Amino acid sequence: MFSTSLLLLTIMISFSTNTFFIFFLDKLSTFMILLCILCFTPIKFNFSMATHKSSFFTSQLALILFFSILFFSFITKNMFIFFILFENALAYLMVLVMVSGYQPERISANFYLFNYTLISSFPFFITITALMNFFILDWFSSFSTLMTYNLPNWMLWSCCVMILVKIPIYFFHLWLPKVHVEASTAGSMILAAIILKLGGYIMIRLITSWTFLLEFKQMLFNLGLLSLIISASLTLFQTDMKSLVAYSSIFHMSLCLNMACMAVQTSPLLLVLFISHGLSSNMLFLFSGMFFYSFGTRLMFYIKNSFSFSFLMSMILLLTLLFNLGIPLSLNFIFEFLAIFTTNQWMSFSMLIFFPALMISLMYFLLISTSLIFSPKKNSTNFFMKMNFSMNLTNSLFIFVSILGYFFFLSI
């Protein structure tokens, strides 16, 4: 109710100041909306099958409202309206985690999610209200005029901190693995494919005006490098498949931060990585959910050789891991190749961290593939036969459509 009132107030201010250009659609918005549409159907089916009957209506309503908010947040040009929609989307995500989670620890996961996002967003909210005093509400003009009005440095830092938490990178990441582990499969798919991309969406919108952050770029770049190597190393010590994919997401988002600090021209590369990571990580979380529904666990020690019974699914999992790793002809390969070239041009010593991090990412690919596909046989039952027909059909269709979508985005 409070958020709705703020939204209406902003619209009235826009009318009164002749700045009513709230909605727009460009390539970035279009790609993000396409990603949401691609993920909606499998997420809805997974929620339908995983949610208790008592909370079925609540979860479905929250899911529809959540995607409606996402749609409007991607097409709005008004920064304040985007902020309100973004925070409302996180509130609906908390509802989805509560009604579809399985463990009591989902309450503490929601506590982490609420506190991290609230603490990081409040200074940014103050910055937006300060900009509203100058009637600056447009994404494309607001941050380029910050230095004109001599706003204090803490307002500039508020933009950085919110991005670091929402992406997130290491040191600001504690909420992400906890929410991933406690959320249902559909909740993790939403978080990986859409919520993290919202933080990246803000970062891309700010890249064109990051000239006012020149004095902070070196520090942010070093922080991204540190997050890159730590998150890649921690991935090797994960036994829960969801936690492993979550730390690999932190690895990719840290790479995004490094690229954002280099040049304005890197924004198309960031869009490429968002699409690639949104599809590949989504499929990995889908596979982890299939394991959980079949065996009651996501620990890789107990699900060894699960894919040996299905050659097709083994190849799909292997391709998904390779896409996430960045093999040639994949979207990740394009991004990582250009990232290496750009990083070497911008700061050559950073390659001493960048290359080991990429080698570690290869090691966790080998960890998953050897555990799930090439390990000695342990299970004597085809776990795909344990799953009901509708779940098998829905997941298979989503995997097929994701692969087609992957190559569609590659051809654009």
pLDDT above 70 for 213? no
Where would I find the H helices in 17-54? 27-50
Q: Characterize 336-354 residue by residue with b for buried, 16 or more Cβ atoms within 10 angstroms of its Cβ, and e for exposed.
A: beebeebbeebbeebeebb
* Percentage with pLDDT > 70 across the chain: 74
For residue 179, tell me if it sits in a domain: yes
pLDDT above 80 for 382? no
Question: Are 300 and 372 contacting, i.e. CB atoms less than 8 angstroms apart?
Answer: yes
Choose between 69 and 20: higher pLDDT. Answer: 69
For residue 325, tell me if it sits in a domain: yes
Where would I find the H helices in 133-213? 139-142, 153-166, 175-182, 185-190, 196-207
Rounded CA gap, 86 and 68, in Å?
A: 11
- Give the tens place of pLDDT for each residue, 120-145: 888 888 888 877 776 556 665 555 55
Tokens found for residue 293: 């529904």
For residue 116, tell me if it sits in a domain: yes
Tokens found for residue 402: 């994701």
- Give the tens place of pLDDT for each residue, 71-88: 888 888 888 888 888 888
DSSP state of 240: B
Tokens found for residue 382: 């085809």
For residue 20, tell me if it sits in a domain: no
In the chain, how many domains are there? 1
Over residues 211-227, the mean pLDDT reads 77
pLDDT above 70 for 20? no
Tokens found for residue 16: 């009164």
The whole-chain average pLDDT of the chain stands at 75
CB atoms within 10 A of CB 144: 16
pLDDT above 70 for 210? no
Choose between 234 and 305: higher pLDDT. Answer: 234
* pLDDT band, residue 380 (cuts 50/70/90): very low
For residue 125, tell me if it sits in a domain: yes
Rg over alpha carbons for the chain, rounded to the nearest Å, is 21
Question: Are 280 and 324 contacting, i.e. CB atoms less than 8 angstroms apart?
Answer: yes
Over residues 96-118, the mean pLDDT reads 82
* pLDDT band, residue 66 (cuts 50/70/90): confident
Q: Which domain holds residue 139?
A: 2-11+27-411
Non-local CB neighbours of 331 within 8 Å, separated by 6+ positions: 272, 273, 275, 276, 323, 406, 409, 410
- Give the tens place of pLDDT for each residue, 138-182: 665 555 555 556 667 777 788 788 888 888 888 888 889 988 888
CA angle 248, 64, 128 (to 5 degrees): 70
Q: Any idea of the CA torsion for 352, 354, 357, 362, to the nearest 10 degrees?
A: -110
For residue 16, tell me if it sits in a domain: no
pLDDT above 70 for 406? no
Rounded CA gap, 357 and 294, in Å?
A: 33
For residue 22, tell me if it sits in a domain: no
CA angle 205, 411, 360 (to 5 degrees): 70
Question: Are 287 and 294 contacting, i.e. CB atoms less than 8 angstroms apart?
Answer: no
* pLDDT band, residue 3 (cuts 50/70/90): very low
pLDDT above 50 for 7? no
Rounded CA gap, 370 and 372, in Å?
A: 6
For residue 19, tell me if it sits in a domain: no
